[in-house]
A and B are shown apart, each in its own frame.
Chain A
Amino acid sequence: MTFQTHDARILEVKELTSREKLFTLRFVDPEINRSFKYKPGQFVIVDIRGFGEFPISLCSTPTREGYFQLCVRRVGRMTKYMHTLKEGDVIGIRGPYGNGFPMEKMEGSTLILVAGGLGMAPLRSVLWYALDTGKYEKIYLFYGTKAYEDILFRDEVIHLLKHGEDMNCHVKLAYEVESPSCIYLEKGYSPRVCKGVVTDLFRGETFDVENTYALICGPPVMYKYIIKELLDRKLSPGRIYMTLERRMRCGVGKCGHCIVGTSTSIKYVCKDGPVFTYWDALSTRGLI
């Protein structure tokens, strides 16, 4: 059944920041657990009975099997309820939906991951997938955050700042609000940590545009500036991948909320996306 959800048990709840929690889940039915395969960039629909359903991206990597993780920010009625859940509680999950990032196609290339705020969640899936498989030449992670307290997966980001170079992973961090912790980070890892916005992190970096893919996720206002930065460096629109957000109810292209485009080209973000290239955005109005 298309809209049938499956019970999943919460194995662990971890507080990432004051607003975000990381839920580690596993399906109650071991058969479903085995057959649940997903790609970085795909999403699931969480079903909280009595409250409703909401889409959320998977932030764990498929290379680590047996569980999956969702990073949930407390913003509304349903996510507020979800934050009250504890280990052992059961919620419904259906999916995975969407196209995900073309990880096979990008093998052997350099990846530039550009994350803004909560956009770190789906890109974390790509990051760990790339590190686990080791099939990518070099990985850049440009992460723009508001303040030190808002850094998602802070321990992982700091770990990669420290040891990332050994894994061909180059992490850069931009923060907006100054605090002692940020200044401490900046002192330790200058110039990779700086005050500013995420586009500032491009300064001084050069890429081999023939062999590079950029993957972007962040708040809607961010895309335009990042894309300008990438196009200035002559990266082809087909090599810029963005993962987008819309209101979604079904996840399979039926409910109509996520329709974008004009009379010549209509796309469903849930079914045709949520990962689009910049070329898609050029040919379909209203994507970004």
Chain B
Amino acid sequence: MEILDKVYLAEPVDPYYKKRRENSIIIGISCMPDEYCFCKSLGTDFAMHGFDLFLHELPDGWLVRVGSVRGHEIAWENEELFEELTEEDVKNFREFEEKRANSFKKHLNKKGLEDILDLAYNSPVWKKYEKICLGYGNCNMVCPTCRCYEVCDLWMNAYEAVRVRRYDSCFMESHGLVAGGHNFRPTRLDRFRHRYYCKSYFDPSAGFNCVGCGRCDEFCPARIEHVKVLDEVREGLQ
């Protein structure tokens, strides 16, 4: 969410996004990592900011962290739902977090990743995955930080049209196509590599563009694993 904010709320501000953003309340919930998740490697497993309320599961209820004035107001208005924090709650919370931290099955070695990827521009690993990838764009559709959009005009009837935005995927051939038929990413290899470069772009102030949720792995019809691809590229260099 903060990655999206960085893009859409940067000058010039996207008014549509801003309005929706202002009208939303962000309530986080702590989860147990599934078999695909590698968010711990990217440091996004514990939210420090960017939420109004954050719920942590306890055996007999929820531990609630308040992250903003708005979150505080919500808690205030619903005082009857809350109880004082006990020492036992804190103990349970700690135990849950420890258990959670140890149950990640996937780990991404991100040390120097951005430089390694840049050097591996012509790596044979990309060629290998070009053959495996089906170019469905499922990974884009489920990715929480994928944000490319296409603008099109839809005719509602003979006299009215609306301009709409829809999700666009960089795995589609039309993503790099310009008028006159020239395509700046003509092959699947270009598009596959482009996605990995975009996700692994390291912004010194915001970190990687990937949050490590692992949803792209879960929904990939070709069973391509994000971490595995990056590890193979890394190994390919050595």
Contacts and interface: CB of A to CB of B under 8 A. Distances in A.
A247 B161 contact: no
A1 B15 contact: yes
A254 B8 contact: yes
A259 to B, nearest CB: 6
A249 B151 contact: yes
The A contact surface, by secondary structure, is loop
Contact of B161 (A49, A220, A249, A286): A49
A79 B202 contact: no
Most buried by A among B10, B179, B182: B179
Interface residues of B, number: 42
A254 B153 CA distance: 18
Interface string A24-63: 0000000000000000000000000111111000000000
B51 interface: no
Interface string B178-203: 11111010000000001011101110
Interface stretch (A98-106, A201-209, A228-236, A262-270): A262-270
A252 interface: yes
Contacts of B50: none
Contacts of A259: 194, 198
Given A49-B153, A53-B151, A254-B8, A2 B178 contact: no
A196 interface: no
Contact of B201 (A3, A53, A261, A286): A261
A264 B148 contact: no
A95 to B, nearest CB: 11
Given A73-B180, A246-B178, A255 B148 contact: yes
A2 B179 contact: no
Given A75-B179, A247-B178, A285-B121, A252 B12 contact: yes
Contacts of B175: 247, 257
Contacts of B179: 54, 73, 75-76, 79
A253 interface: yes
A286 B201 CA distance: 14
B150 interface: yes
A52 B15 contact: no
A18 to B, nearest CB: 15
Contacts of B151: 52-53, 249-250, 255
B147 A263 contact: no
B10 A263 contact: no
Interface stretch (B64-72, B83-91, B110-118): B110-118
Contacts of A261: 197, 201
Given A54-B179, A220-B182, A249-B149, A254 B201 contact: no
Nearest to A287: B184
Contacts of A257: 148, 150, 168, 175-176
B153 A52 contact: yes
B123 to A, nearest CB: 12
A20 interface: no
B46 interface: no
Contact of A50 (B12, B153, B197): B153
Most buried by A among B8, B13, B153: B153
B140 to A, nearest CB: 10
A253 B7 contact: yes
B118 A285 contact: yes
Contacts of B152: 52
Given A2-B15, A219-B182, 7 more contacts: A52-B163, A79-B179, A253-B10, A254-B149, A255-B168, A263-B113, A263-B118
Closest 5 CB pairs of A and B: A256-B148, A263-B114, A263-B117, A263-B200, A50-B161
14 contacts: A51-B153, A76-B179, A247-B177, A249-B149, A253-B10, A254-B8, A257-B150, A257-B168, A257-B176, A259-B198, A263-B117, A263-B201, A264-B115, A266-B197
